[in-house]
Amino acid sequence: MQTVDLLKRQAAFAYDELLKALDGVTEPQAWAVLPAAGSEYLHTDGSIQGLVLHIATGKRLYASMAFRNREVRWRDTAEQLDRFEPSWPAALEYLTESQRYWLASWEGLTDGELEKEMGTIWDRLWPAWRIIHEMNHHDSYHAGQIVMLRYASGESSIPPPSYASDIRESAASYPSW
**What is the band of 41 on the pLDDT scale with cuts at 50, 70, 90?**
low
Percentage above 90 pLDDT, the chain: 89
Delineate the domains of the chain, giving CATH numbers in brackets: 3-32+45-108+117-171 (1.20.120.450)
Question: CA-CA distance, 166 to 160, in Å (whole number)?
Answer: 11
Cα separations in angstroms, 32 against 23, 94, 98? 16, 19, 23
Q: What is the pLDDT of residues 107-152, one digit of tens each?
A: 999 999 999 999 999 889 999 999 999 999 999 999 999 999 999 9
CA distance 123 to 95: 24
pLDDT at 44 over 90: no
Nearest to 15 by CA among 163, 142, 149: 142
Distance (Å, whole) CA 91 – CA 97: 10
What is the pTM for the complete model shown? 0.96
- Pair 71, 16: CB distance under 8 Å: no
DSSP 26-92: -HHHHH-B-PPPTT---SSSSBHHHHHHHHHHHHHHHHHHHHSTT-S-HHHHHHHHHTTTT-HHHHH
CB atoms within 10 A of CB 85: 21
